[in-house]
Amino acid sequence: MNRFITLLKTLLINNLGISAIQAKARKNKLEYLKVLGLGVAIAAGVAPSLWLYSKILIQGYDLLAPLGQQGAILILGIVMVSSMIFFFGIFYVINFFYFAGDAQNLLALPLSGWQVLGARFSVVIAYEYLTELPFILPPLLVFGIKSGASLTYWLYALIGFLLIPLLPLSLATIPTVIVMRFANLGRRKDLFKILGGLMVIALAIGYQFLFQKSGINAMDPAFLQNLLTDQYGLVNLISRVFPSTKYLGLALISANKVAGLINLLIFAALSLLAVALAWLVGDKLYFKGLVGSSETTARRKMLTSSDYERFGKGSPALLSYCMKEIRLLFRVPPYFMNCVLTNLLVPVILIIPFLLQSHNKQEALPWEDLISQPVGQTILMVVIVGAVIFLAGSNAITATSLSREGKEFFISKYIPLSYKQQVQAKLLSGYLLGIIGAVLLLIGAIILMPLKIALIGMILAVSLVAIVPIIEAGLLIDIFRPKLDWDNEQKAVKQNLNVVFSILFSILLGGAVLYIVIRFIHSPILAATFMLSCFTVAAVVFYYLLMTRGIEQYRKLEG
């Protein structure tokens, strides 16, 4: 157990950046103030979104309280957080358990499989607490304050906060460890790792498919009547996504009763049992999945004259550098999983629940009447464009473009390509992949609802322009604060605050423009014109900054 604690402390210090901050603080005591200022800046950036989220929860509480179903806002927050941890936990587990640079080093230490996996699992849990906080804290506070909750409720809420990530992360860990056990077989280990990660994600989506297809028809009159008359009708419905969350929801709702304590104990038992099972599977299979994962095999292919001719063919320098960026994103597993796959997978995850909802084909879907009106079309345009903007800001392609080069950044100083062309190539690679995500979202919308050609054209035009200032800002951020000192690819993308700043910028810019549209514009044509104008101006401004201040800073950087 002492070895486990020692390893856990070491991993926490290294991965949370504590040692790096302490080292810098020895030379400059203001380093602590920088960290504090960064935290304040991030908090200020997310504050408007949290305020809006809390306002919606308050209105939901007031609406559901007369029906006695105000507890639904609690279970909604718990289920939302659990789902996020489950899906994104798969990426965390694959990256941190298998792609971390120190993974191979731990094989030589006198540690068992459960100790190494358990320590890494605990570090991921620490990250998940930070992810969980802004989503679960508002519903806990709203319900507690509005209901005048007792001290017992707040104690249960704290315990629940600590327990929530355990079960979904365990469910993400078990299939990942099993699949990755066999991912190192064969010569193309990177390819097998990527395919293994895709298989785990496919299993997660398959679970949602089977769950929703076997569900109750939400439009059934008897079901709707029971939903509104049963005190825990909404709680039971929402918790079907993660059945175990029902027990925590009931524990918080009935905090002053014995039933509340019983439900909390059941939730704790299920969570700890899932962790024990994940660690047991890890003890048996984790090391076997790590052994040989860093080895490579030479292909020893005999080159023919046609191969030499193909390799010797020239191509435009800008296009070649752009293709180099794209190939790197697809070939390196951490880059593919964190940059490319999220860009492709998020639209699919958002669309699948709607596709799987069973409904009577004779009846119109709830949103079909809405989108037949100009106001509804404007709202739909705002929703899709907002999703495209957030996707472009969170995919980390341009926000880690320089960071991904790491200690090899000095090569960019010597290649026969100007800094301007290098920046343009990085922008182009991010834009091409951003287009794919935007098109996938639009295709999903077309499948779900009958959209007119004119509306599709306007949404596509606005989306293609809206991507540009987001990726430009991401690249500008990375130029001014690149993370070039890392020992494994995962740290370049997963532990890079530039991605957070890119997300915050996308929320601020997109939120400001889209709020004005929702508040004042109710015509799709006027809305599209306004958004195109705003995003075009923003794109021109940031391109100018990139070509002036950005190039100047690029020139000063040293690998």
Per-residue buried b or exposed e for 446-465, using 16+ beta carbons within 10 Å of the residue's own CB: eeebebeeebeebbbebbbb
Same domain as 168, residue 34: yes
User: Looking at residue 153, what is its pLDDT?
Assistant: 92
Q: Say if CB 525 and CB 458 are below 8 A apart.
A: yes
Phi-psi bin for 449: left (phi > 0), alpha (psi -120 to 50), beta?
beta
| Residue-number span of the structural domain to which 459 is assigned | 315-559
Same domain as 102, residue 193: yes
Same domain as 199, residue 104: yes
Element (H, E) at 45: helix 31-64
User: Looking at residue 101, what is its pLDDT?
Assistant: 65
The single-letter DSSP state of residue 382 is: H
Q: What value, to the nearest 5°, has the Cα angle with vertex 52 and ends 238 and 128?
A: 60
- For the chain, the domain total comes to 2
Same domain as 331, residue 200: no
Same domain as 202, residue 321: no
Q: What value, to the nearest 5°, has the Cα angle with vertex 539 and ends 533 and 543?
A: 150
C-alpha distances (whole Å) from 337 to each of 51, 188, 240, 348, 468 are 32, 17, 28, 15, 23
Angle between helices 497-520 and 453-480 (to 10 degrees): 140
Same domain as 403, residue 319: yes
The single-letter DSSP state of residue 10 is: H
In a domain, 243, yes or no: yes
Same domain as 275, residue 321: no
Same domain as 287, residue 340: no
Three-state DSSP class for 69? coil
User: Looking at residue 68, what is its pLDDT?
Assistant: 79
The structure tokens listed for 19 are 């040692």
Q: Mean pLDDT per 10-residue run, the chain (559 residues)?
A: 80 69 64 71 75 86 82 86 83 75 71 84 88 89 90 93 93 84 59 62 62 51 52 62 83 89 94 93 82 55 65 74 89 81 73 57 54 84 91 89 87 86 92 90 83 91 95 93 80 82 89 89 92 95 94 83
Sign of CA dihedral 118, 122, 124, 129: positive
Same domain as 422, residue 495: yes
- Model confidence pLDDT, tens digit, residues 490-540: 778 877 888 888 988 998 898 889 889 988 988 999 999 999 999 999 999
User: Looking at residue 298, what is its pLDDT?
Assistant: 52
Amino acid letter at 232?
Y
User: Looking at residue 228, what is its pLDDT?
Assistant: 53
In a domain, 235, yes or no: yes
Same domain as 288, residue 321: no
The structure tokens listed for 43 are 């908090």
